């Protein structure tokens, strides 16, 4: 972030209120099986032009945030203030102290569904403006959007302002630092615009509606369910050489055998094929492009971390894995006695139900490299679904 050319998402999730019903703050309540906060984190983490995320949270909410994020890496946490403005200021000052990024996208966790198109639009708008935000016209009202934001328009009259709001970092930091304590500000865009910068509007998104009341959760669940997901399939294939004196790791399980597989990592040929299948479905390269064998940090690495990484990439794109199917091709050892343990281990790494994880095995009738016991091969297929907004 210190190179001054990075884009950071600042997600404000400091609320402690429960207007949305229930006894937990709404950013920790779930829609589509994931906490509100987790949806926003996934959206930004999955965008190639977002270089980092900082979360502004309420005092003492660290454990709740980690629980809401599950297996995801936890971004830096900054404790917010009494008001939203205090919370944003705390996040901006944290970023300034870390080495200012070039741009910051300030987002409310109460708007869980940020599409990659909105992020793209905001970053493009920052090429010619100091600030940009998405807005939706109020139904049945004609609204003229100017290339540059003009006078502030009362929100309840003409159009609805959404987040994320994107700014040149120095402009929004200066606006917050100079803004009089007693003066009201409806949002960061107003502050930046009123301190003399140009702020523009990009088209908003119905999926960005704010979640406030209990009925909003029901509406968002229905909206999410109505989004047609796009099915994607990927395949993977791998071979490793069998040698005496190595451990034999297959599907994350240590299998007793006279020989093991050699390779740079633990050489778990089955997991490698599976990782390539998942990355293939995402069209995000292959295992070697993410974990190059030339990089000494992967020497002897357990392959379960490669698989966890691939699954995290699916989540970051807002997707879900429907099913994986794996075939191990070898003459020995016999896979049958280990099949249940292998499925259970893969399901645990991927956080999938057991019935979505298939492990099969075959020999090659003593033909070829597997038949001569020179190596073990594996092939895999992964089927997953991605939201249309994130199929790029």
Q: Is-contact 126 185, C-beta < 8 A?
A: no
Which residue, judged by CB position, is nearest to Mg ion in the bound state?
A: 272
Q: Does 42 bind Mg ion (CB under 5 A)?
A: no
301-to-44, 72, 236, 252 alpha-carbon distances in Å: 28, 20, 20, 12
Q: Does 304 bind Mg ion (CB under 5 A)?
A: no
Q: Is-contact 79 28, C-beta < 8 A?
A: no
Q: Does 378 bind Mg ion (CB under 5 A)?
A: no
User: Of all helices (H) and strands (E), which one includes residue 188?
Assistant: helix 188-194
* Residue 322 to residue 254: CA distance in whole angstroms: 26
Q: Does 275 bind Mg ion (CB under 5 A)?
A: no
- Residue 127 or 297: the one with the smaller Cβ distance to Mg ion is 297
Q: In this chain, which stretch among 162-170, 251-259, 267-275, 289-297 interacts with Mg ion, using CB under 5 A?
A: 267-275
The two three-digit tokens of residue 333, written as one number:
């050892």
- Residue 238 or 304: the one with the smaller Cβ distance to Mg ion is 238
- Residue 24 or 235: the one with the smaller Cβ distance to Mg ion is 235
Q: Is-contact 370 331, C-beta < 8 A?
A: yes
- Residue 106 or 273: the one with the smaller Cβ distance to Mg ion is 273
| Binds Mg ion (CB under 5 A): choice among 272, 313, 317, 338 | 272
- Residue 163 or 303: the one with the smaller Cβ distance to Mg ion is 303
Q: Does 326 bind Mg ion (CB under 5 A)?
A: no
User: Of all helices (H) and strands (E), which one includes residue 312?
Assistant: helix 304-316
Bin 351: left if φ > 0, else alpha if -120 < ψ < 50, else beta. Answer: left
Q: How far is the CB of 212 from Mg ion (least distance, A)?
A: 49
Q: Does 276 bind Mg ion (CB under 5 A)?
A: no
Q: How far is the CB of 293 from Mg ion (least distance, A)?
A: 9
| Binds Mg ion (CB under 5 A): choice among 34, 205, 216, 238 | 238
Closest by alpha carbon to 82, among 27, 158, 14? 14
- Residue 253 or 320: the one with the smaller Cβ distance to Mg ion is 253
Q: Is-contact 72 40, C-beta < 8 A?
A: no
Q: Does 377 bind Mg ion (CB under 5 A)?
A: no
Q: How far is the CB of 364 from Mg ion (least distance, A)?
A: 19
* Residue 7 to residue 378: CA distance in whole angstroms: 40
Q: Which residues bind Mg ion (CB under 5 A)?
A: 238, 272
């Amino acid at each position: 972030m210190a190179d001054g050319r990075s884009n950071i998402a600042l997600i404000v999730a400091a609320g402690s209120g429960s207007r949305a019903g229930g006894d937990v703050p709404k950013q920790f309540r779930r829609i589509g099986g994931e906490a509100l906060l987790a949806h926003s984190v996934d959206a930004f983490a999955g965008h190639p032009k977002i270089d980092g995320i900082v979360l502004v949270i309420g005092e003492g909410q660290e454990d709740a945030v980690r629980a809401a994020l599950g297996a995801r890496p936890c971004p830096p946490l900054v404790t917010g203030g009494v008001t939203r403005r205090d919370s944003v200021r705390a996040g901006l000052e944290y970023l300034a102290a870390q080495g200012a990024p070039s741009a910051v996208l300030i987002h409310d966790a109460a708007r869980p569904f940020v599409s990659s198109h909105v992020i793209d639009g905001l970053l493009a708008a920052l090429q010619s403006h100091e600030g940009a935000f998405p807005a939706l016209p109020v139904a049945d009202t004609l609204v003229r959007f100017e290339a540059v934001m003009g006078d502030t328009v009362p929100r309840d009259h003409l159009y609805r302002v959404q987040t994320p709001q994107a700014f040149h970092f120095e402009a929004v930091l200066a606006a917050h630092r100079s803004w009089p304590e007693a003066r009201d500000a409806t949002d960061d865009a107003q502050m930046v615009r009123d301190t003399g910068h140009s702020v523009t509007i990009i088209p908003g998104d119905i999926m960005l509606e704010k979640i406030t009341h209990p009925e909003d959760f029901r509406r968002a669940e229905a909206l999410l369910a109505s989004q047609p997901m796009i099915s994607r399939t990927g395949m993977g294939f791998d071979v490793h050489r069998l040698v005496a004196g190595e451990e034999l790791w297959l599907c994350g399980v240590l299998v007793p055998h006279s020989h093991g597989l050699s390779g740079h990592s633990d050489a778990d040929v089955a997991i490698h094929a599976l990782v390539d299948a998942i990355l293939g479905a995402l069209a995000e390269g292959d295992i070697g492009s993410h974990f190059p064998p030339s990089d000494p940090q992967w020497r002897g690495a357990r392959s379960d971390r490669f698989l966890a990484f691939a699954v995290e990439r699916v989540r970051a794109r807002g997707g879900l894995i429907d099913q994986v199917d794996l075939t191990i091709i070898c003459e020995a050892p016999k896979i049958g006695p280990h099949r249940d343990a292998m499925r259970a281990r893969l399901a645990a790494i991927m956080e999938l139900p057991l019935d979505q994880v298939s492990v099969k095995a075959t020999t090659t009738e003593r033909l070829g490299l597997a038949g001569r016991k020179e190596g073990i091969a594996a092939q895999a297929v992964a089927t997953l679904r991605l939201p249309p907004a994130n199929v790029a």
